[in-house]
Structure 1
Amino acid sequence: MFKEGSPIAYDAPAELKKWPSLRGERQKDRGPPYLVYNGTLADCVRELMGKPVKGISLYDIMTKPQAAFDQTVLSPGDAAEIAMRKDFPKP
């Protein structure tokens, strides 16, 4: 998903959002996702990785495209991949 060798701006503005859900399933017909956390990309990744695994699929991270990735919505899988990068800032 990410372009190898391309740096990621971990200090870029980002928002962690959660989709409305029913019985642990996204309910896209019940409205847009709502804001859970507003901060940097690194902060949003940390916030998401701190959520219970059971409900992590209900979240997305919204940020601006970068050289390393060309999308504005990062899934929990994308966030996990970012968190495992060697250059991901440690708290």
Structure 2
Amino acid sequence: MGDVVAVSKVDFRALAALHKWPSLANQRQPDREPYKISEGTLDECISAFMGKPETTRHLYEIRTMAQPPLVTDILSPEHVTELSRLREYL
């Protein structure tokens, strides 16, 4: 029940941007910086991320304003997937 209460405090309308890491053979290139591919709300960016093939999601991240304790300023693929699952309970 605590997770549902915490998620209800997440502002899914907050501004966010979906970024993609440059890749080679489906692997992140750590010597390069990720680039922005879309902007919108956190909700829109989560939806865009979830629309990507599961095999390439590790190349993406969402950047937004931190909303402690559940939302950090850079959301990893695992974090985005978990937020997507939790928002379904709202």
Q: Give the TM-score normalised by the residue count of structure 1.
A: 0.84
Unaligned runs of 5+ in 2: none
Q: How does 1:1-91 map to 2 (within 5 A)?
A: 4=3, 5-6=5-6, 7-29=9-31, 31-69=32-70, 71-85=72-86, 86-87=89-90
Unaligned runs of 5+ in 1: none
The answer to whether the 8 A contact 2:42-2:64 is kept is yes
- Structure with higher helix content: 2
Report the CA distance between 1:67 and its aligned residue: 3.0
2-structure distance, mates of 1:67, 1:33: 24
RMSD of aligned Cα (Å): 1.4
**Letter of the aligned partner of 1:81 in structure 2?**
E
**Letter of the aligned partner of 1:65 in structure 2?**
A
2-structure distance, mates of 1:40, 1:68: 19
2-structure distance, mates of 1:75, 1:67: 15
The answer to whether the 8 A contact 1:15-1:61 is kept is yes
The answer to whether the 8 A contact 1:8-1:68 is kept is no
**Letter of the aligned partner of 1:72 in structure 2?**
D
The C-alpha deviation readout for 1:23-42, integer Å capped at 9, x for no partner, is 0000011x210111100000
